[in-house]
Amino acid sequence: MPEKHEEEDIRNTEWLKIEIFSPPETADALNNFLDEIGTEGAFQETLEDPSKNGFFEPTGGEIIQAFLPCDGRLEIRLASLRKYLDSIAQIFPDSEKPTMKTEIIRDPGWEEEWKKYFKPIRVSRSIVVKPTWERYTQTGGDIVIDIDPGMAFGTGQHPSTRMCLEAMEDILLHDRSIGNWHVLDVGTGTGILGIAAAKLDAESVLCVDTDPKAIEIATKNALINNVQDRVRMQQGEITAVEEPFHLIVSNINAKTMIQLRSQMDRLLHPNGYLIISGIIEQEKHDIDEHFPSDLYSRRQVLNEKEWVCFVMRKNADRN
């Protein structure tokens, strides 16, 4: 979370709150564009209604919310966004055109905005992710992860996060060939993947992120989930990491993943697992090219909406 003086600056600054309602097929492209024009506090959530079992189910649309500071660049950014919305409508003529509304506010209230859309969600057979402010009655073999996201990424609501968690559960619970799992979470965000690894009985987990705020939030979440004895946080690049790992998981983006491939290769044990997500369908070829099958055998490729998660295993003769 921001330091005290940063929080005061946020409250004293006027912001343009942007809310876009979009069909699922255009939401990811819009979310990426908002990031490109420099929005803050952006998040994308599936519009959901409560189901009979207490969880929330998709209603067929997405809501994207973001904030722009009311500075000298606001009108240029807003005009660029409106133009992009028009181009989206042309690219997807059979889809409903996304609609946008805006309002000027002084305090973005990041945490309160999250609370409107972040509800308990079952992300895999065993794993349930819930916000710290919501109640959930644990049943059977549920593995419950409590998350307070602050301004970091990773709540289990996004397809790329869910697929990583599903793949981790499958590997850590079913591969008995490794007795004491050592896991590396690259770009940890809220710490959700590293915390999940610990709750899936990994012996040690290292969570790395270049953002000091993410490390602060992830550290807090590890304490909330009582896994701080097995989960370590480290700010910086993975070039500073030396120890080897049986599993590396990273939910960032294809470009960064390709840049980090040699480092991940260096840190992964032969026969070790690599789970990478944050990749869109159009980028699959790039991943195939830079993570060739002679180096990494494909164990599984997961798809949800336009997002892809690769589950690979480093070939045994790679040292």
pLDDT digits (tens, 9 = 90+) for 132-181: 888 888 888 899 999 887 655 667 778 889 999 999 999 999 998 898 99
Identify the sign of the CA torsion 10, 12, 13, 17.
positive
Rg (CA), the chain: 20
Structure-token pair, residue 30: 């819009």
Domain boundaries, the chain: 4-116, 127-314
Q: How far apart are CA 76 and CA 78, in angstroms?
A: 5
pLDDT at 194: 97
127-314 domain in CATH 3.40.50.150? Answer: yes
Q: Is 107 left (phi over 0), alpha (psi -120 to 50) or beta?
A: beta
Q: Considering the entire predicted model, what is its pTM?
A: 0.74
Which H or E run includes 58? strand 56-69
Please state which of the four CATH numbers 3.90.550.10, 3.30.70.120, 3.40.50.1820, 3.40.640.10 is assigned to the domain occupying 4-116. 3.30.70.120
Residue 202 has pLDDT above 60, yes or no: yes
Give the model confidence (pLDDT) of 43-81 as tens digits: 766 655 545 444 444 455 788 888 888 888 899 989 999
